[in-house]
């Protein structure tokens, strides 16, 4: 079948919950993707911050092939070596003490919420505890994750949510303080907001929230699903601030393509929250998923991924800033590391479409923001190539 025939078949069979770009992708190599007709695309989306190591990494592929031939799945009623090794490695790079593996970021958020509520329940035996989340946040599509997602358009058709959720404003400490009550059990926020428009937390704000939580025995949950795993230049974005959470979530680049997630916590929280029978998963942490995590963490160190991010990010920022200076239609750039956004004065869909036609894959974050979350292995030459195509696409579409 040709491209259009595949698209037509997809529209007959798949539930229409995505307005997909009219491209059928076939394979990837390095920082490039190819469609079924052989057209080559420079990828500055990386599966929405997933393919940190790029495509077709031989060592990664070989590790997964070896695990397929050995053991794909048992269940969490038994131990398996890859999960034990993955947890050990993840503890080391995160500084957290306990790990629960999930299948996705949304599931990791669900587990984090349950852990926080159980922690509070064990203190006073009550079930009316409140969680403070941030406006413009995004934590996932499942009910718990959606309940703490600070954008009404995602929630309104599915009300009522889980309840006892309040929303404060990112980087406005007084707004958080105003929401705190004796019932508050947790504050949840993305260290760098992604879907909400690429908003990094300010250091003083994060430190202030940590102080409130310490004073009142409230748990701080940091969502590092998109901004973690090296994207900001630290393994987890909170490490750049020196503000450690009580619970944190991870996914996306944690498996670099294999659907995996995790929530992690300190020993203090683990000792007084979830216990046997409180939470579970059929597939989470199975040998295949865990083997992916092990190899990803090994390759991050071997291939100096964090060092590359810290070298390339300033160069990318400079190139994006030059576009801001060149075009009045661009208001500003904001972001950290290889998680950047260009904020336009009008919708960016035409620019993204033109870039796709010109062989560059981009994604938005809201109607007027182009989000750039490329593989973490990109080079300065890749940044130059991207800038050239994006420049032309802006010029010819707006």
For residues 237 and 248, state if they share a domain: yes
pLDDT at position 313 over 90:
yes
Number of domains in the chain: 2
CATH code: domain of residue 386: 3.90.1150.10
Whether residues 160 and 110 fall in one domain: yes
* Residue 3 parent element (H or E): helix 3-13
pLDDT of 336 = 98
Domain identity same for 202 and 248: yes
Percent pLDDT > 90 in the chain is 99
| Domain interval for residue 9 | 3-53+304-395
Determine the pLDDT at residue 350.
97
Composition of the chain by helix, strand, coil, percent to 5: 40, 20, 40
Whether 311 and 205 map to the same domain: the answer is no
* Confidence category of residue 130, pLDDT binned at 50, 70, 90: very high
What mean pLDDT do residues 170-176 have? 98
- The pair of structure tokens assigned to 336 is 């950290």
Residue 98's DSSP bridge partners are 265
User: Over the stretch 179-210, which tens digit does the pLDDT of each residue have?
Assistant: 999 999 999 999 999 999 999 999 999 999 99
Which pLDDT tens digit goes with each residue over 230-285?
A: 999 999 999 999 999 999 999 999 999 999 999 999 999 999 999 999 999 999 99
Q: Which CATH number goes with the domain that contains 200?
A: 3.40.640.10
Domain C-terminal end among 302, 320, 349? 302
Final residue of a structural domain among 285, 302, 319: 302
Q: Provide the percentage of residues in the chain whose pLDDT is more than 70.
A: 100
Together in a domain, 80 and 200: yes
- Final residue belonging to a domain, choices 272, 302, 332: 302
Answer yes or no: do 96 and 125 share one domain. Answer: yes
Domain shared by 12 and 147, yes or no: no
Cβ neighbors of 118 (< 8 A, separation 6 or more) are 273, 274, 278
pLDDT averaged over every residue in the chain: 97
CB 339 within 8 A of CB 226: yes
| 11 and 131 housed in the same domain | no
- The bridge status of strand 219-223 relative to strand 199-200 is unpaired
Q: pLDDT tens digits, residue range 68-124?
A: 999 999 999 999 999 999 999 999 999 999 999 999 999 999 999 999 999 999 999
Does the pTM exceed 0.85?
A: yes
Question: Are 7 and 105 part of one and the same domain?
Answer: no
**How many angstroms separate the CA atoms of 223 and 186, rounded?**
13
Give me 159's structure tokens: 């009300």
Q: Are 183 and 228 contained in the same domain?
A: yes
Alpha carbons 374 and 146: distance in angstroms, whole number: 26
Kind of pairing between the strands at 184-190 and 130-134? parallel
Region 320-347 average pLDDT: 98
**pLDDT confidence of residue 398:** 80
pLDDT in tens, 368-397: 999 999 999 999 999 999 999 999 999 999
Span 162-185, average pLDDT:
98
What's the per-residue H, E or C state across 254-306?
HCCCCCCEEEEECHHHHCCCCCCCCCCCCCCCCHHHHHHHHHHHHHHHHCCHH
| pLDDT at 305 > cutoff 90 | yes
CA dihedral 111, 117, 119, 123 (to 10 degrees): -170
For residue range 275-294, list pLDDT tens digits in order: 999 999 999 999 999 999 99
Region 46-55 average pLDDT:
98
Residues 39 and 171 reside in one and the same domain: no
Is residue 338 a contact partner of residue 372, using CB atoms and an 8 Å limit? yes
Contact 143, 179 (CB under 8 A): no
Tally of helices (H runs) and strands (E runs) in the chain: 15, 17
Same-domain pairing of 259 and 167:
yes
Helix (H, G, I), strand (E, B) or coil at 211: helix
Q: Is the model's pLDDT at 215 over the cut of 90?
A: yes
């Amino acid at each position: 079948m040709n491209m259009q025939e595949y698209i037509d078949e997809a529209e007959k069979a798949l539930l229409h919950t995505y307005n997909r770009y009219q491209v059928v992708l076939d394979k990837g190599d390095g920082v490039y993707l190819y469609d079924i007709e052989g057209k080559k695309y420079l990828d500055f989306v990386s599966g929405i911050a997933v393919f940190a190591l790029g495509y077709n990494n031989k060592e990664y592929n070989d590790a997964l092939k070896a695990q397929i031939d050995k053991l794909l799945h048992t269940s969490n009623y038994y131990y398996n070596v890859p999960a034990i090794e993955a947890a050990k490695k993840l503890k080391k790079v995160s500084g957290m003490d306990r790990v629960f593996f999930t299948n996705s970021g949304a599931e990791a958020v669900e587990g984090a919420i349950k852990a926080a509520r159980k922690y509070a329940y064990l203190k006073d035996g009550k079930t009316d505890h409140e969680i403070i989340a941030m406006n413009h946040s995004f934590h996932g599509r499942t009910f718990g994750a959606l309940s703490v997602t600070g954008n009404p358009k995602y929630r309104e058709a599915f009300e009522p949510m889980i309840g006892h959720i309040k929303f404060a404003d990112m980087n406005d400490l007084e707004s958080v303080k105003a929401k705190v009550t004796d019932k508050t059990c947790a504050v949840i926020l993305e260290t760098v907001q992604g879907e909400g428009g690429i908003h990094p937390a300010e250091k003083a704000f994060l430190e202030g929230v940590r102080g409130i939580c310490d004073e009142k025995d409230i748990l701080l949950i940091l969502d590092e699903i998109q901004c973690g795993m090296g994207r900001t230049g630290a393994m987890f974005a909170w490490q750049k601030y020196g503000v450690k959470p009580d619970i944190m979530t991870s996914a996306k680049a944690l498996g670099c393509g294999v659907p995996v997630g995790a929530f992690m916590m300190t020993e203090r929280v683990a000792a007084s929250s979830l216990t046997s029978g409180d939470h579970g998963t059929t597939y989470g942490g199975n040998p295949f998923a865990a083997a992916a995590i092990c190899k990803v963490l090994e390759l991050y160190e071997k291939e100096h991924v964090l060092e590359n991010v810290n070298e390339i990010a300033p160069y990318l920022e400079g190139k994006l800033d030059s576009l801001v200076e060149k075009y009045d239609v661009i208001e500003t750039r904001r972001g950290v590391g290889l998680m950047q956004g260009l904020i336009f004065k009008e919708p960016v869909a035409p620019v993204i479409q033109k870039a796709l036609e010109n062989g560059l894959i981009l994604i938005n974050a809201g109607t007027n923001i182009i989000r750039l979350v490329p593989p973490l292995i990109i080079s300065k030459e890749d940044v130059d190539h991207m800038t050239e195509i994006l420049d032309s696409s802006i010029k010819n579409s707006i």
